Amino acid sequence: MADARKHHPLVDATEPNLMEDVFPYSLPPRILFDGPVVEVIDGRPVEFDFGSVRHRPIVVTDTTFRDGQQARPPYTPDQMVRIYDLLARLSGPQGVVRQTEFFLYTRSDREALDRCRALGRRYPECTGWIRAVKGDFRLVREAGLAETGMLTSCSDYHIFRKLNFPSRKACIDSYCEVVAAAFEAGVRPRCHMEDVTRADIDGFVLPFVDRLMAMSRQVPERLSVKIRLCDTMGFGLGHPGAALPRSVPKLIYKLNRECGVPSERLEWHGHNDFHKVHANAATAWLYGCDAVNATLFGFGERTGNPPLEGAVFEYIALKGDLCGVDTTAVTELAEYMRAIGLPIPDNYPLAGRAFNVTRAGIHAGGLRQDERIYNIFDTERLLGRPPRVAITDKSGADGVTLWVNAFFGLKGQERLNKIRVHKLARWVIDQYELGGRLTPISDEELAEKTRELMPEYWQKYKTASPPA
């Protein structure tokens, strides 16, 4: 192998290069690409231009009310209406969160659907979910929906061991009867290819999709079949060179280029059994699948689905623009979900109570000098969540100073320095060194001690409230 080493001379500077084209701070860090990549498919190189995603009409779709309900007690209609309304805010006028799906089997399901539609929001569009049973289209028709998902399981585990079909042909024939029933009912079918990353792609999936595309050519464009690729067990891999059936890139390429499924009719639905759920969803976008299906905070069947708020921030990072999205709705959704019993870990990205809270004194010192040093982006602007510090034995005077300035709401030249908070900082140190304390000090304790040890500042700024 040739020696690729080269000399790298120092580029000296007296002013910082903060790379603000990549890290603008007013937005999530932009995702940029150096050029096309090559994936070897069927023994030949195929070039993909990831940069084109910035100009493609990619979207997020939601399954909080379907897959998300399979991992918790059912939401009440009131709860679903509130969540839907916040989803509409998060979606923005361009419909970044384009669709959501509802069960249709119970009175409660149908009430929630009717009440959500009565809000008059354009996005997310309400769609249905049914079994691959012809009789179920009565429910879709009665609900007046234009589109519904239907389960069309693909792996032999499902075809033979779950559904007990005598052959693959019998399975495809049965599915296509249900698709024809959807056409007859004037409803666009969205075929959910369950367990596709464990299926025989060449022997079953591609012939099935070929037949669906042929059927679609016989009906108006508005009824053409959509394909949802369901990585039901989380087996999908985004690694270059990974083999089918687990390769996300190859799977999308085959359906897109060989079967002729347009990108706008392809959708990815993943599960997180191997911690790959968000990465696989982003990979699907890059390789030509326009829709990524997700749930709020990733809460779904077993290990969950792609987190919807993560997909929205990935979308913004790829586009380099907010695209009308109201990202503060993520914080309101998290607060509401916690209020109705959905557990969101404190360190959960973007939404956990402590996701931008530091406990390290050296980090607090950096935040005090310039919050960009240890804050991922302007979390106060985008999420209504300014960076904070939790006070422990590791916080030091820098951490206490940062807490006091946040407590009093002081900015710029008004901020207090370490000398002015030294009594409070000394008290904190004594709790651990003399008192043997092991737990963090609460905001309430610190507020009371601030009143006692810094009365002049308390008097001046006492209208301020403790950090939320």
With respect to CATH, is domain 37-339 assigned 3.20.20.70?
yes
The pTM of the full predicted model, rounded to 2 decimals, is: 0.90
Residue 467 clears pLDDT 50, i.e. is over it = no
Which residue in 234, 192, 232, 186 sits closest to 209, CA to CA? 192
Query: Got the DSSP string for 237-290?
Result: B--TTPPTTTBHHHHHHIIIIIS---GGGEEEE---TTS-HHHHHHHHHHTT--
pLDDT tens track for 192-236: 999 999 999 999 999 999 999 999 999 999 999 999 999 999 999
pLDDT tens track for 392-444: 888 788 888 888 888 888 888 888 998 999 999 999 999 989 888 888 888 88
Q: Region 97-117: what's the mean pLDDT?
A: 96
Reported as type and span, the H/E element at residue 188 is: strand 188-193
Residue 464 clears pLDDT 50, i.e. is over it = no
Alpha-carbon distance of 140 to 121, in angstroms, equals 20
Q: Which amino acid is at 385?
A: R
- Cis peptide bond N-terminal to 124, omega within 30: yes
- C-alpha distance from residue 440 to each of 205, 347, 428, 435, 468 (Å): 55, 15, 10, 13, 16
Domain ranges of the chain: 37-339, 357-461
DSSP designation for 221: G
Q: What per-residue confidence (pLDDT) applies to 367?
A: 58
Q: What per-residue confidence (pLDDT) applies to 1?
A: 60
pLDDT tens track for 232-267: 999 999 999 999 999 999 999 999 999 999 999 999
pLDDT tens track for 376-395: 999 999 999 888 877 888 87
Q: What per-residue confidence (pLDDT) applies to 364?
A: 52
